[in-house]
Amino acid sequence: MDTIGIGRPVLERGLLHASLSDPAMESMNLLNQVAERYPKAVSLAAGRPFEGFYDLEDMNRYLNVFCSYLTRERGLSERDVLRILYQYGPTKGVIGELIARHLAVDEAIEAQPAAVVVTVGAQEAMYLVLRALRAGPQDAVLAVDPTYVGLTGAALLAEMPVLPVPVAEDGIDLDALVVTLRRARAAGRRVRACYLIPDFANPIGLSMSADNRVRLLEVARSEDLLLIEDNAYGVFHPGAERPRTLRSLDRDGRVIYIGSFAKTGVAGARVGFVVADQPVAAAAGPGGLLADELGKLKSMLTVNTSPIAQAVIGGKLIAHDFSLVAANRRERAVYAANLQAVLTGLDRRLGGLDGVGWNRPEGGFFVVLTVPFEVDDALLEQAAEEFGVLFTPMRHFHSTPAGDRQLRLSISNLTPEVIDEGLDRLAALIRHRLA
C-alpha cells in the first residue's frame, strides 16, 4: 500500500484494480454525474422500465403466491417455507424450476432446472460466465460492436479482452465474425464465446433476423464457438409472433442463455439467471454442468441470490401462469405507444433534415439517432445545461468511430407529455448545432 506519509493512508487509484481507471468506467461515471447535476433535465438516457404501474400490493401478493406454491405444489410445511425465505439458501437458487416453466411457456426453451443458476441480475450472470471462461491471459470473448456496457464492465472485472464484431443490417456480420475469430485464434487467442443480444440490443435497439440467427448457429457449429445470448427485451416484441431465441433454435448446446427480470419482473428484486447446460469434464472427480461451475463461483461471490427477492419474482411468474408476455400486457402497450410517439415525433420535428436520421426498431427500449456532428460529452453537457435534455452518446458503446455522431434515446420510462417536451428540446439542440 502506498500512502502519503505515515498516518492517514491515502490510496492511489493507479494502484487499485485497472478496471477503475479504464476509460469505459470513467465515461459511464461521467454520464451518471451529468444526470445527477441536471436533475430537472428531461432524461431520454436512462433505460429503466416504466414506473407507472408500480403497486405496493403486488409485492405482498407475489410473496403470498410463492408461499402458497411452496406449501401446495411442493408440499412444504410452514416451517420449511419460513426456512426458504429467511435462511441461507442453495447457491443456484430456489426458483430454477419456475424459471424453466417460464422459458417453456414464453420462449419454447427446454431447460432442465438443474441447469439454471439464479443470479443477482443479469449482470452477475455475465460476470460468472466470463469469470468461468477466463482461465488465462490468452482467453478472449467476442461481442457485437456496439456492445452493452454491462458486458464491457463484467469483462473488465474478469480481465478478459473483448474483441469487437461489427453489427450488420440484419444482426451480426457473420463474415466479419469468422474473420475476427480465425485471426484471433491464429494469433494464439483462445476465443471462448461470442456475446450478443439478439432482441432489441442495448444500445442499438435492433433485432437479428430469423435467418441471421440460424446462420449464426451454423457458424458457431462449424467454427466451434460458444454463444452467450442475453435476452432482456425479447418480451417486448409487439406482435403475438416473436422471433425464436438462439437458445430455442440451438440443437448442439452451444448457447449459454442469460435472462433478466429487471424489465419484465421487478427491477428492485435484482434477479436474473443463466441457463448453462454445457457438460463439464474433469480430469479428476465428477464432472457436471457448466451451471454447477457457475454456482461454485457464485458461492465465492454472493453465496446465493436473496430468496425473498426470488420469491417476489417466483410469485409473479406463478401469478401469470409463467408468461411474462402476459404479465407485461400493459407495459408492452406503453412501450409500443412510446416507441411510436418517439418515431413520429422525430419525423415531425426532424424529418428530412440533411444528415439527420434514426433507426426504426419494431419494439424494445431504444432508438439510435445519427446527426452530422460529433456527439460527445461536451455536447451532452450543453444539452443538459442549455436545452434541459439528456441522452446517451453512442461513442461510449463503440470500439470504433462508428458511433461518434450517434446518440441513443430510451423510450421506456416516459409519458406522452415527457416525450413531446424531450423531443422539442432535443430538436432545438440539433437545430442549434446545425445552424
Task: Please report, as residue ranges, which positions from 179 to 198 form the binding site for its own copies (by CB under 8 A).
Answer: 190-193
Q: How far is the CB of 267 from its own copies (least distance, A)?
A: 5
Q: Residue 222 or residue 354: which is nearer to its own copies going by CB? A: 222
CB of 38 to its own copies, least distance (A): 17
The answer to the question of residue 371 lying near its own copies (CB under 8 A) is no
- At its nearest, how many Å lie between its own copies and the CB of residue 363? 21
What grid cell was written down for 224? 466451434
Of 139-168, which residues contact its own copies (CB under 8 A)? 150, 153-154, 156-157
**Residue 401 CB coordination number (10 Å):** 9
**Rounded to the nearest whole angstrom, what is the least distance from the CB of residue 113 to its own copies in the complex?**
16
Spatial separation of the C-alpha atoms in residues 292 and 277, rounded to whole Å: 9
Number of residues in contact with its own copies, rule: CB under 8 A? 101
Rounded CA-CA distance 261/349 in Å is 35
Contacts (CB under 8 A) with its own copies, residues 84-103: 84-89
**Minimum gap (Å) between residue 171 Cβ and its own copies:** 22
139-145/162-168 β-pairing: parallel
Among the residue ranges 80-88, 166-174, 238-246, 422-430, the one whose residues contact its own copies (CB under 8 A): 80-88
Closer to its own copies at the Cβ: 224 or 347? 224
Minimum distance from residue 220 beta carbon to its own copies (Å): 9
Examine residue 378 and tell whether it contacts its own copies (CB under 8 A).
Answer: no
Separation CA 334–CA 238 (nearest Å): 11
Contact status: 123 vs its own copies (CB under 8 A): yes
At closest approach, how far in Å is the CB of 278 from its own copies? 6
Q: Is 240 exposed, middle or buried (0-12, 13-18, 19+ CB in 10 A)?
A: exposed
Across the chain, which distance is largest between two alpha carbons, in Å? Answer: 71
311 to 370, contacts with its own copies by CB under 8 A? 312
Q: Do the Cβ atoms of 213 and 244 come closer than 8 Å? A: yes
Shortest Cβ distance from residue 21 to its own copies (Å)?
8
Which residues between 225 and 254 bind its own copies (CB under 8 A)? 225-226, 252-254
Cα 72 to Cα 80: distance, rounded to the nearest angstrom: 12
Residue 127 found at the interface with its own copies (CB under 8 A): yes
Q: Which is nearer to its own copies, 306 or 399 (CB)?
A: 306
273: nearest Cα among 132, 126, 119:
119
- In the complex, the smallest distance separating the C-beta of residue 70 from its own copies, rounded to whole angstroms, is 12
Query: Within 261-300, which residues bind its own copies (CB under 8 A)?
Result: 262, 266-271, 278-283, 285, 287, 290, 293, 296-297, 299-300
Q: Does 373 bind its own copies (CB under 8 A)?
A: no
CB-CB contact of 166 with 145 (8 Å): yes
Considering the complex, state which of residue 150 and residue 345 has its C-beta at the smaller distance from its own copies: 150
The Cα–Cα gap between 317 and 145 comes to 33
Judged by CB under 8 A, does residue 8 bind its own copies? yes
Residue 37 or residue 221: which is nearer to its own copies going by CB? 221
Element (H, E) at 248: helix 246-249
Among 35, 61, 63, 184, indicate the residue that binds its own copies (CB under 8 A): 63
* DSSP letter string, 340-366: HHHHHHHHHHHTT-TT-EE---SSSSE
Scanning 109-117, 170-178, 218-226, 337-345 for contacts with its own copies by CB under 8 A, the matching segment is 218-226
Taking CB under 8 A as the rule, does residue 222 contact its own copies?
A: yes
Q: Counting Cβ atoms within 10 Å, is residue 368 exposed (0-12), middle (13-18) or buried (19+)?
A: buried
Of residues 17-56, those binding its own copies (CB under 8 A): 17-21, 25-26, 28-29, 48-49, 51, 54-56
- Residues 389, 390, 395, 397: is their CA dihedral positive or negative? negative
Measured between alpha carbons, how far is residue 114 from residues 93, 181, 291 in Å? 10, 31, 8
Q: How far is CA 87 from CA 94, 273, 307, 396, 409, in A?
A: 12, 20, 8, 41, 42
